[in-house]
Amino acid sequence: MKITDLTVTLFKWEGIPKGIAKRHTGAIGGDSQLGLLTLSTDEGVEGHAFLGSSGRSAEFDAGSLIRYLKPIVLGQNPLDRERLFEPMINIQRNTTMRAVGAVDVALWDLGGKIVGLPIHRLLGSYRDSIPAYVSSPRLASPEAYVAEATEYQAKGLRGYKIHPPAVDVREDIEVCTAVRKAVGHDYPLMLDSIWGYDYPQALEVGKAIQELGYYWYEDPLAGDDMLGYVKLKNHLDIPIMATEHSPGGFTAYAPWLVSQATDYLRGDVAVKGGITAVMKTAHLAEAFHMNYEIHHGGNSLNNIANLQATMAIKNTEYFEILLPGGAQKYGLIEEAEPDSDGMMHAIDEPGLGAKIDFELIQNRKTAVLS
C-alpha cells in the first residue's frame, strides 16, 4: 500500500466565544479556521487529522506542511510510521511541530483503519477509561472561578485546574483560596500559571497553594527557565509540572530529566509531534518513575488522538478538558465527552474512531491545499 495524496481542506470556524486575552496567546475568540488533513492511498483507505485551533488558524501551519512534509510521505507505505517520523522531525526547522503532529496523527488514523483496530489497540491498550478534569479559561474574578469550579464539581468532573489572571500574585492566591474553600478539602485542584511569574512570585504562589493542598503546580516559570525550575523544586513540596510548551520535541525532555527540573513530563499530539512523540515521551517518563500528563489538543480531533494515546499509557492519571467548550469543539458529528461520573471512555472504532462532520467541512470550505 502507498500514500497517493495529501491535502489540507481549510474550513471556517466562526462565532468562537470571546475570552480575556492571555499574554502567551493574545485575544481569544471570534473567527478561526481548521484544516482537515487527508491522506489518501492506492487502496482507497483514508487517514485524517485536524490542523489548527480556535486561537491558531490552520493556514499558519498548512502551507509549510504541504511544502515540506507532503513530499516525505508521498509514495511511502503508511504503516512505516517510525521511519517517516524521523525525516518529518528533522525538517521542522522549515515547518512546525503542529504540522508534524497532524501528519503523524493522520498516519495513525490510517494505520488503525488498515488493520481495523482503534489506535489504542494498535499501541497496546492499558485501560478503557480515565478520569477527566476541566481547565478554566482566564476569568474576571474569584467569584467567577468559584462558580465554574462548583458547577463542574457538581457535574461529576474529577478535578478543576485554574488558569489564573497572572497579573498580580495576590489576586491569584485569592482565586486559589476561594476555589479551595468552595470545593472542599478533598477535591483535586491544580494551578497552571502559564509561564506567568518570575522566581520570587512563583515561590510565593507555590507556598500558598501547597498550604491549600493543590495537586500540582504547572508552568509557573518561563518554559526555558530550567535553572529556575530546579531552584523552585528544591524549595517546594508540591509537585511541579513543566515541559508542556518547553522548546523542542521528544529529545528536548532529556535535560529536564537529568536536571531534575520537573516532577512530570507533559505534552500533547499537537505541540510535540503527534502520537508517535507522545508515546515515546510517556515511555521515557516511565523509566524515571514519573507520570506523563497529556495537555489538551486544541481541537476536537486532536483531543480524540490524545484520548486514544491515553488508553495505552500506564503512567498517566487524567484527561484534560479545556473550557469554554465552544472554543475547543468543532468539526465532529459527535464529540468525546466525559460520563456523569467524570470518566472519559475509550473509543473502539478503527483508527481515531471519530465521526468527522464532512458536510460541515464541505459547506464552510475556503481552500484545498495540495
Least separation in angstroms between residue 70's CB and Mg ion is 31
E strand or H helix at 6, and its extent?
strand 3-22
Least separation in angstroms between residue 135's CB and Mg ion is 7
Looking at the Cβ atoms of 108 and 264, the one nearer to Mg ion is 264
| Whether 289 contacts 304, CB under 8 Å | no
Nearest to 102 by CA among 224, 223, 219, 10: 10
| Whether 162 contacts 193, CB under 8 Å | no
- Angle among Cα 179, 184, 187 to the nearest 5 degrees reads 85
| Whether 250 contacts 272, CB under 8 Å | yes
Least separation in angstroms between residue 71's CB and Mg ion is 34
Phi, psi of 22 (to 5 degrees): -110, 150
Least separation in angstroms between residue 322's CB and Mg ion is 9
Least separation in angstroms between residue 77's CB and Mg ion is 36
Looking at the Cβ atoms of 196 and 273, the one nearer to Mg ion is 196
Query: What is the number of the residue whose Cβ is closest to Mg ion?
Result: 192
Burial of 126: CB neighbours in 10 Å, binned 0-12, 13-18, 19+: middle
List alpha helices for the chain, DSSP H.
59-64, 70-73, 81-90, 97-115, 119-123, 142-154, 169-183, 199-211, 226-235, 254-258, 269-272, 274-287, 300-310, 358-363
Grid cell 479556521 in the structure block, residue: 33
DSSP category for residue 322 = E
Looking at the Cβ atoms of 17 and 223, the one nearer to Mg ion is 223
Looking at the Cβ atoms of 85 and 253, the one nearer to Mg ion is 253
Looking at the Cβ atoms of 148 and 244, the one nearer to Mg ion is 244
| Whether 147 contacts 122, CB under 8 Å | no
Looking at the Cβ atoms of 192 and 357, the one nearer to Mg ion is 192
Least separation in angstroms between residue 55's CB and Mg ion is 14
Least separation in angstroms between residue 223's CB and Mg ion is 10
Cβ partners under 8 Å of residue 254, min gap 6: none
Q: Which residues bind Mg ion (CB under 5 A)?
A: 192, 244
Least separation in angstroms between residue 120's CB and Mg ion is 24
Looking at the Cβ atoms of 241 and 347, the one nearer to Mg ion is 241
Burial of 224: CB neighbours in 10 Å, binned 0-12, 13-18, 19+: middle
Looking at the Cβ atoms of 11 and 264, the one nearer to Mg ion is 264
Least separation in angstroms between residue 219's CB and Mg ion is 5
Distance CA 31, CA 54 (A): 7
* Residue 310: HSE in the Cβ half-sphere, 13 Å Cα cutoff: 29
Cβ partners under 8 Å of residue 86, min gap 6: none
E strand or H helix at 9, and its extent?
strand 3-22
Grid cell 495576590 in the structure block, residue: 170
Looking at the Cβ atoms of 192 and 225, the one nearer to Mg ion is 192
